């Protein structure tokens, strides 16, 4: 099965893609179109995650068996994560914000929220199966929908989607 995940930034798309590849027993490719990423577009069965761009709608075609869009409702948290990750070149590493960081970066956070909101509107408007960070990692409401959409039965790696594995303020070992 070939699955494409179209994600906004900082929405758990990498963790979700890793989890899905484990459940399906097929390779995972993260952002193969990113020039700085050494990963390539995979042939055959795979889970591939991309960040939405202007060219993304052209990828909605018969090359994929299933296409999933993932966004995050909490734009404030999404913006904080994106700015921190970008500033510290720590895209997928655990972190704790220093005291006062949010307050001293509020203008940047609000500008980033506008950018993220526009990206998420684009992802949400695509004619594809839609899920959210909150309904995967927090409320778990989208788990049964995903199982039905992909024809999954027994989930062996669901603990990988536990909210305690989030990057910010995570003191434990990140599973994925």
Residue 93: helix, strand or coil by DSSP?
coil
Fold held by 2-74+119-164: Rossmann fold (3.40.50)
Which of residues 96 and 76 earns the better pLDDT score?
76
Q: If residue 71 lies in a helix (H) or strand (E), which one and from where to where? A: strand 66-71
- 110, containing H or E segment: helix 106-124
Q: Which of 61-65, 81-85, 123-127, 139-143 has the lowest mean pLDDT?
A: 81-85
Return the higher-pLDDT residue of 103 and 90: 103
- At 157-168, the pLDDT tens digits run 999 898 776 666
pTM (two decimals): 0.87
Where exactly are the structural domains of the chain? 2-74+119-164
Are 7 and 51 contacting, i.e. CB atoms less than 8 angstroms apart?
yes
* 158, HSE (Cβ side, Cα atoms, 13 Å): 13
Residues 6+ apart with CB under 8 A from 16: 5, 7, 49, 70, 131, 136, 161
User: How far apart (Å, rounded) are the C-alpha atoms in residues 161 and 176?
Assistant: 9
């Amino acid at each position: 099965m070939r699955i494409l995940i179209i994600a906004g930034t900082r929405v758990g798309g990498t963790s979700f893609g890793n989890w899905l590849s484990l459940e399906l027993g097929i390779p995972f490719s993260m952002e193969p179109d990113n020039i700085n990423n050494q990963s390539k577009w995979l042939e055959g069965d795979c889970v591939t995650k991309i960040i939405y761009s202007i060219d993304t709608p052209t990828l909605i075609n018969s090359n994929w068996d299933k296409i999933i869009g993932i966004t995050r409702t909490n734009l404030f948290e999404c913006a904080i994560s994106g700015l921190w990750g970008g500033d510290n070149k720590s895209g997928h590493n655990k972190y704790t914000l220093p005291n006062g960081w949010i307050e001293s970066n509020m203008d940047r956070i609000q500008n980033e929220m506008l950018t993220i909101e526009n990206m998420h509107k684009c992802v949400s408007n695509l004619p594809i199966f839609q899920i959210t960070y909150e309904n995967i990692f927090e409320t778990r409401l989208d788990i049964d929908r995903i199982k039905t959409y992909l024809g999954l039965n027994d989930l062996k790696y669901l603990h990988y989607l536990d909210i305690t594995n989030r990057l910010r303020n995570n003191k434990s070992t990140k599973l994925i």
